[in-house]
Amino acid sequence: MKRARIKKVIIIICVLLIIAIIAVIGSTALYLKLFGKSLVENAVSKAVGQKVTFKEFSIDLENNRVVFNDFTIPGRMSAEGIPFFKADSVTATIDGSKFRKNRKIVLQVLVVDNGTLHLERNKNGTFNMAFLNGGEPGIFGEEAAYAYEAFSNRTLYNMARQVEEIVIRNSTFEFSDSTLYGVPFVTTFDTFNFKLTSKKIPSGGSIPVTCKFGFRIPAERYNRDGWLYVESSMAVYDYQVNMEATVQTEYIDVMKFLPYFQFYTPFQFNEGLFSSSTKFKMHSNYIDLLTTMVFHRLRLSVNPAEQNARFLSTTANRIIPYLTSREGDIVFDWVAYGPSDNLQFNVGPRVKQAMGMIAAEEITNVLQSLQSLSNF
């Protein structure tokens, strides 16, 4: 009888514990359902520095991971009312040990899937996000493991110490510029893929960071796709960043960026594609850059409204034959060098060679003329 009673008591206690556990889990789930989304939205908004929204989220406590679906950051100064950023899915993994120990949110891995970034430059030259105009964005708020100092080397160093990887997959970049001729220039780059990886190092040294990204620039007029690829490696110190990078473009439609060519050059472009290769180095704040551009099927003329239009036209007609390849492409190169705050620009070795050949031709003509005169 005693054993039977004890057994019954144990069963009752177990049942009560199960009921209590179910009640706790149920109330937690109900609390998250009713209030969790709002609490997390407010926390993320504080972290980003402005209001963000998302349709739903899920938390993986075991892997310290949060997944947001239909994530949106509005553009506070957007004249068109288009969100600055939106994505089907954003996955953030934080440093679990630091969160449990110090209650600090330290981002380790960020993955964005099917995102759209809309960058907008208004008529007064301002962008649709405050930090692009020189302001300070809030990154993880004051409780963060690091504070964001706008446009400083320390910023990248502090971020690289914590963030191990940032991945953007199959996304789109939209750009709208209303500063040219009063008519908005709009273009879209898709199939945008980005990966930044940072490696941990002993305190006091540089942090190795690699970055790769690329996107498609459709060239509908030519029934083909243009592309841009960037690959870089950095040694990030708390006081400077040393970097080497290569930038490749393939078959970009000149007419797609016609407003910029017309605004910044004295030429009128009627047709053409361009490809380019850029080698970039920065060490101790000193920059060394060489860009080679190849224009395919290019048709251009000098804008007659330009000052010295006749001289420019004559010069272009003289030098272009020396810059034309066997395939009929025009190859032009230029360089930039010097401290980052005082860059110097010049033509590249290929253009210098062409100018030298023109000078040699002129000297030859003069000598021939003198020789003809001496024969009289």
Per-residue confidence (pLDDT) for residue 36, from 0 to 100: 59
- When pLDDT is averaged across residues 41-54 and rounded to a whole number, the result is 75
Least confident of 26-35, 77-86, 137-146: 137-146
3-state secondary structure of 283: strand
Structure tokens at 155: 């910023």
Structure tokens at 284: 């101790």
Q: How far apart are CA 323 and CA 329, in angstroms?
A: 8
Distances (CA, A) of 288 to 4, 171, 208, 233, 334: 88, 31, 20, 15, 11
Nearest to 68 by CA among 41, 50, 43, 42: 41
Per-residue confidence (pLDDT) for residue 70, from 0 to 100: 92
Q: How far apart are CA 40 and CA 212, in angstroms?
A: 31
Least confident of 29-38, 134-143, 198-207: 134-143
Tell me: pLDDT of 142 over 70: no
Structure tokens at 12: 């009752």
DSSP assignment of 160-217, as one string?
Answer: HHH--EEEEEEEEEEEEE--STTS-EEEEEEEEEEEEEE----TTSPEEEEEEEEEEE
Task: Give tens-digit pLDDT for 313-358.
Answer: 888 888 888 899 888 899 999 999 999 888 899 989 998 998 888 8
Of 101 and 43, the structure prediction assigns the larger pLDDT to 101
Task: Give tens-digit pLDDT for 147-181.
Answer: 333 345 566 777 778 888 999 999 998 888 888 76
Per-residue confidence (pLDDT) for residue 153, from 0 to 100: 57
Cβ atoms of 168 and 115 closer than 8 Å: yes
Tell me: pLDDT of 15 over 70: no
Least confident of 61-70, 195-204, 288-297: 195-204
Q: How far apart are CA 292 and CA 55, in angstroms?
A: 46
Domain ranges in the chain are 41-198, 200-376
- When pLDDT is averaged across residues 254-260 and rounded to a whole number, the result is 83
Confidence of residue 47 (pLDDT cuts 50, 70, 90): low
Per-residue confidence (pLDDT) for residue 373, from 0 to 100: 65
Structure tokens at 47: 């972290």
Q: How far apart are CA 79 and CA 155, in angstroms?
A: 30
Of 312 and 60, the structure prediction assigns the larger pLDDT to 60
